[in-house]
């Protein structure tokens, strides 16, 4: 591939010279390109050539940039359908080997040779006027005259230490300047003539401040400032970027949610870092700006990177949950703690998945969420205090649509009975302080069709007394929902299974180890 790439470069420089094998390879790849089903696929492939060669490209960022450039359709990649189409586009490009799988999940790569083919094809596309000079150890920017008619410029992964003062780039829609640690300053009027710029990537640079002309980017949709470690604050005029939809400041020196972003009324995706610093025996508190979250009414995804040499308190997470619970459009909330990503909340196609460290957080979330939004969710998985977030161990889980797994809790107060009332699968693991499931007000378990109780040493029976038993769990209901009971006792003996015929069977059954019951016929 390397030799083919060098050969293709020679062929482009001297097209009249025949390079053995290169022309045939180019024709083959051009055929794969021409055979793509839609223009959207072709445009996304050409856009991928802007990234530095052979690097892992985050698929979410790639599709986000393509959407900002209107390459995914008229709705800019915002609807469920367009997201599915975008994923299909990537799959198609990978199927024909124009893109390859990255080293980790959600990443793709474009081989150097493929990039050269894409740039060669782009030369004949009037809508794709690109200036791409990546991985070339450039210390000076290309002649400013070459910028004027370009709509996409990529100078990533070079050694630039300065940029032109005020280039005239009225056609420019994408500008990649990432991975330039030696670049510490951007001229004050650098962005003055870039009113059509939609995507700006300044990630992994050494910039200290953003110039005042940043406010002139009235069409900007995506701004990437992640890992700009010397950038300590965003300017107050950042709020003038009225069209901004995605802002990534993770790993930068900005360790809060800046107050000015409440003016970004179209912001859909926000990625930030929170950091606590230890100074001797004291911990420096940081004003995280929690109250800004609830003001971003169109926010769909919030990612918080919580890097700190000290342990985070649950109060931090609790405050964030309180603020985001009122956001009607929010679909994804992620916490990155000690380099481990936790999907606190993910809502896809009315399927809600929530992971919490404490039960009180669930109460805070549900209490502040729109009841209408919760009721219309058909599927949910809720994990409380769980280290293991795998699928529940209840047999035939695939048939269960609404599952709750509660681990390492104590006491008889379940945080949100409304949610428990809708669950049809319930797991209770290592819970302290209850003797019967009926202590949870078992009336709230009237729809449960499968249940697992494990390592709850204090439990002596499923239902405490007949008088206190849930009226919904009549003999008929008990037989329907709790037909199979398995027990592994402390001495290692195994009770293979037992049909439950009445509430008294449950009342009198005394488990000493893991206890499981389920409906073998499903809901």
| Model confidence, pTM | 0.76
What does the pLDDT average to over 205-209? 96
| Interatomic CA distance for residues 429 and 371, integer angstroms | 28
Domains of the chain: 2-122 (1.10.10.10), 129-274 (3.80.10.10), 402-518 (no CATH)
What's the full length of the chain, in residues?
523
User: What average pLDDT does range 385-411 have in this prediction?
Assistant: 73
Q: Which of 19-23, 250-254, 483-487 has the highest mean pLDDT?
A: 250-254
Supply 25's token pair: 């390879």
Highest mean pLDDT among 112-116, 317-321, 373-377: 112-116
Q: Which residues pair with 332 in a beta bridge?
A: 301, 346
**Using an 8 Å Cβ cutoff, are 149 and 129 in contact?**
yes
Q: In Å, what is the CA distance from 29 to each residue of 2, 91, 99, 118, 498?
A: 15, 17, 12, 9, 64
What the block records as the tokens of 282 is 């004291």
Q: What confidence score (pLDDT) does residue 349 get? A: 67
**pLDDT tens sequence across 433-448:** 888 777 776 556 677 7
**CA 459 vs CA 320, 337, 465: distances in Å:** 35, 34, 13
pLDDT of residue 338: 59
Q: What is the pLDDT of residue 166?
A: 95
Q: What is the DSSP string of 445-479?
A: GTT--EEEEES-TT--BSSS-TTTS-TTS-HHHHH
Residues facing residue 222 across a β-bridge: 199, 246
- Of the chain, the percentage scoring pLDDT greater than 70 comes to 70
Lowest mean pLDDT among 69-83, 166-180, 403-417: 69-83
Q: Where residue 356 falls among pLDDT bands split at 50, 70, 90? A: confident
The H or E element containing residue 136 is none
Chain centroid to Cα 325, Å, comes to: 17
C-alpha 200/C-alpha 396 separation (Å) is 48
pLDDT band for position 485 (cuts 50, 70, 90): very low
């Amino acid at each position: 591939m390397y030799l083919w790439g060098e050969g293709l470069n020679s062929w482009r420089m001297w097209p009249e010279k025949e390079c053995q094998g290169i022309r045939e390879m180019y024709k083959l790849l051009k055929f794969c390109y021409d055979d793509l089903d839609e223009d959207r696929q072709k445009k996304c492939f050409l856009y991928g050539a802007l990234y530095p060669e052979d690097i892992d490209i985050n698929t979410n960022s790639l599709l986000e940039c393509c959407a900002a450039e209107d390459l995914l359709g008229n709705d800019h990649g915002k609807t469920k359908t367009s997201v599915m189409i975008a994923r299909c586009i990537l799959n198609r490009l990978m199927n024909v080997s124009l893109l390859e799988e990255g080293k980790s999940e959600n990443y793709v790569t474009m081989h150097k040779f493929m990039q050269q083919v894409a740039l060669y094809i782009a030369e004949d596309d009037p809508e794709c006027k690109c200036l791409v000079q990546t991985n070339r150890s450039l210390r000076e920017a290309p002649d400013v005259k070459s910028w004027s008619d370009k709509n996409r410029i990529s100078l990533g992964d070079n050694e630039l230490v300065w940029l032109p003062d005020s280039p005239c780039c009225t056609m420019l829609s994408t500008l990649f300047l990432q991975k330039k640690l030696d670049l510490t300053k951007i001229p004050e009027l650098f962005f003055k003539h870039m009113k059509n710029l939609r995507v700006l990537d300044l990630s992994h640079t050494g910039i200290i401040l953003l110039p005042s002309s940043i406010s002139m980017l009235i069409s900007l949709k995506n701004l990437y400032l992640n890992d700009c470690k010397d950038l300590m604050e965003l300017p107050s005029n950042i709020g003038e970027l009225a069209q901004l939809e995605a802002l990534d400041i993770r790993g930068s020196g900005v360790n809060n949610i800046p107050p000015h972003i409440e003016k970004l009324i179209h912001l859909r995706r926000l990625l930030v870092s929170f950091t606590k610093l230890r100074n001797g025996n004291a911990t420096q508190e940081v004003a995280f700006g929690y109250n800004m979250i609830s003001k971003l009414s169109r926010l769909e995804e919030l990612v918080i990177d919580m890097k700190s040499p000290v342990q985070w308190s649950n109060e931090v997470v609790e405050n964030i949950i309180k603020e985001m619970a009122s956001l009607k459009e929010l679909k994804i909330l992620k916490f990155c703690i000690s380099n481990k990503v936790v999907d606190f909340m993910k809502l896809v196609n009315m399927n809600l998945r929530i992971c919490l460290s404490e039960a009180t957080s669930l109460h805070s979330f549900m209490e502040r969420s729109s009841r209408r939004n919760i009721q219309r969710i058909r599927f949910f998985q809720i994990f409380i205090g769980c280290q293991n977030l795998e699928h529940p161990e209840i047999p035939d889980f695939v048939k269960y649509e609404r599952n709750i797994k509660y681990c390492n809790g104590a006491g008889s107060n379940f945080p949100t009975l409304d949610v428990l009332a809708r669950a049809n699968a319930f797991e209770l693991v290592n819970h302290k302080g209850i003797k019967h499931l009926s202590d949870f007000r078992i009336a709230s378990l009237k729809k449960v069709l499968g249940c697992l109780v494990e390592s709850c040493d204090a439990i002596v029976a499923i239902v405490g007394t007949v008088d206190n038993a849930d009226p919904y769990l009549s003999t008929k209901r008990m037989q329907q929902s709790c037909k199979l009971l398995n027990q592994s006792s402390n001495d290692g003996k195994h009770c293979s299974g037992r049909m439950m015929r009445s509430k008294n069977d449950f009342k009198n059954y005394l488990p000493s180890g893991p206890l499981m019951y389920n409906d073998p016929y499903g809901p």
